[in-house]
């Protein structure tokens, strides 16, 4: 009876831990594998020091290992001798990494254990992993020695099939071209692009016209030497000095005067709300800056719905998911709204928490001199 109870407890622990690992792997691929994995790479792996080229391999391999361990806990081959100890070792590595993260950056943000499906702080994840390790140690003690089956090919087949499966459902991204300049790089004086409406045609003609004196000139008057005609002073654009922003590679006029750049996901309700609020502001303010949008290539088919909700159509580009996150900033979130003036970032907003976009905040910046 005692052995039967131990066996039942062992089955329950195996089922619970297997479910935890499988759920963790699936959550990292929610709501779509490529989007979720790319987000996991930019927000979790790259800040740890992984290069982007290495992160795309590591992320898929890690998720594949999680799936494999979840499946292998449900089978009898090398269960006590290899599978359970390997699972404990992986969790210990996770715990060590989380503790280092907490020591270096505090207990803030999402640890990424369950992707964006269930957000957990690093400390919450440490507690979760410690409980899991305790269950696995208990399982190890419950499993009788010498009862493992010994077909090692089962382990290798499950492992490689799981990793390969992740690479298949989330193919490797295409390499995106990197900008040839940095944000805020000054534009050379001879190539500076100023707003077309800085000088009207009438103003230019007035500045260039010679001064004519219609008063009669006495014949005996001493001739006065002609003074050289001064060149008209070229008008400079209002606002800060002209610079070249990273957004000028997407929109030719992005650095001309005041512009609003939106970094949006077509299916994101908060992004749609931000675009709608900007549309309302544009209707109420005659000189409101032009909005130009860079969409993440996630649910791009919803772009028409996005504009229908926003109440207006705007110039837009579509960017690959990893490149989009790099442009927005790995630690930032959508919706992203950037207020540019002559290529200078005057103010930017992101996410839906502390630094979220509001129309009132934008108008406050626009009304500053």
**pLDDT attached to residue 41:** 85
**pLDDT attached to residue 31:** 81
Q: Which residue bears the tokens 């009207």? A: 200
Q: If phi over 0 gives left and psi between -120 and 50 gives alpha, with beta otherwise, what is residue 239? A: left
What does the alpha-carbon distance between residue 255 and residue 167 come to, in Å, rounded to a whole number? 40
What does the alpha-carbon distance between residue 206 and residue 174 come to, in Å, rounded to a whole number? 54
DSSP per residue over 84-122, as a string?
HHHHHHHHHHHHHHHHHHHHHH-S-S---TBTTTB---H
**Cα 329 to the center of its chain, rounded Å:** 5
What does the alpha-carbon distance between residue 10 and residue 279 come to, in Å, rounded to a whole number? 60
What does the alpha-carbon distance between residue 99 and residue 331 come to, in Å, rounded to a whole number? 19
**pLDDT attached to residue 5:** 87
Contact predicate 38/321, CB 8 Å = yes
46: how many CB neighbours lie within 10 A of its CB? 19
Enumerate the domain spans of the chain: 2-169, 185-189+238-366
**pLDDT attached to residue 329:** 85
Specify the CATH superfamily of domain 185-189+238-366. Answer: Glutaredoxin (3.40.30.10)
Short-list 279, 283, 280, 268, CA closest to 350: 268
Contact predicate 41/52, CB 8 Å = yes
- Those residues with Cβ within 8 angstroms of residue 355's Cβ, 6 or more apart along the chain or in another chain: 349
Contact predicate 241/342, CB 8 Å = yes
**pLDDT attached to residue 353:** 83
Q: How many residues does the chain have?
A: 369
Which stretches of the chain score pLDDT less than 50?
176-224, 233-234
The two tokens of residue 103 are 């020591």
What does the alpha-carbon distance between residue 175 and residue 189 come to, in Å, rounded to a whole number? 33
The two tokens of residue 230 are 């001064």
Short-list 93, 57, 79, CA closest to 158: 79
**pLDDT attached to residue 232:** 52
What does the alpha-carbon distance between residue 363 and residue 368 come to, in Å, rounded to a whole number? 9
Looking at the DSSP bridge assignments, the partners of residue 337 are 262, 349
DSSP strand pairing (336-341 vs 258-264) = antiparallel
The two tokens of residue 133 are 């390790």
Short-list 102, 100, 126, CA closest to 113: 126
């Amino acid at each position: 009876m005692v052995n039967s109870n131990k066996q039942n407890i062992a089955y329950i622990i195996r089922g619970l831990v297997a479910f935890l690992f499988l759920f963790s792997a699936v959550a990292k691929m929610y709501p779509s594998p490529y989007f979720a994995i790319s987000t996991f790479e930019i927000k979790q792996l790259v800040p740890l020091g992984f290069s982007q080229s290495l992160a795309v391999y590591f992320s898929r391999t890690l998720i594949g290992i999680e799936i494999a361990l979840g499946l292998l806990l449900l089978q009898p081959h090398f269960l006590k001798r290899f599978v359970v100890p390997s699972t404990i070792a992986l969790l210990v590595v996770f715990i060590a990494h989380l503790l280092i993260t907490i020591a270096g950056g505090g207990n803030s943000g999402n640890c990424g254990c369950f992707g964006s499906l269930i957000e957990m702080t690093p400390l919450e994840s440490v507690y979760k992993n410690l409980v899991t390790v305790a269950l696995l140690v208990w399982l190890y003690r419950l499993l009788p020695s010498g009862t493992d089956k010994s077909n090692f090919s089962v382990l290798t087949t499950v492992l490689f099939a799981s990793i390969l499966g992740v690479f298949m459902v989330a193919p490797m991204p295409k390499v995106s071209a990197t900008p040839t300049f940095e944000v805020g790089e000054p534009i050379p004086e001879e190539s500076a692009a100023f707003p077309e409406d800085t000088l009207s045609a009438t103003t230019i003609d007035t500045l260039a016209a010679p001064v004519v004196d219609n008063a009669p000139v006495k014949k005996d008057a001493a001739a006065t030497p002609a003074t050289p005609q001064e060149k008209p002073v070229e008008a400079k654009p209002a606002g800060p000095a002209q610079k070249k922003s990273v957004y000028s590679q997407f929109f030719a006029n992005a650095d001309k005067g005041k512009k609003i750049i939106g970094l949006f996901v077509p299916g994101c309700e908060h992004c749609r709300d931000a675009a709608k609020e900007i549309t309302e502001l544009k209707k109420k303010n005659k000189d409101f800056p032009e909005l130009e949008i860079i969409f993440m290539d996630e649910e791009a088919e919803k772009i028409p719905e996005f504009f229908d909700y926003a109440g207006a159509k705007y110039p837009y580009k579509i960017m690959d998911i990893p490149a989009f996150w790099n442009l927005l900033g790995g630690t930032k979130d959508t919706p992203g709204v950037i207020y540019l003036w002559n290529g200078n970032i005057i103010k930017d907003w992101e996410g839906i928490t502390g630094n979220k976009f509001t129309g009132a905040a934008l108008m406050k910046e626009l009304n500053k001199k």
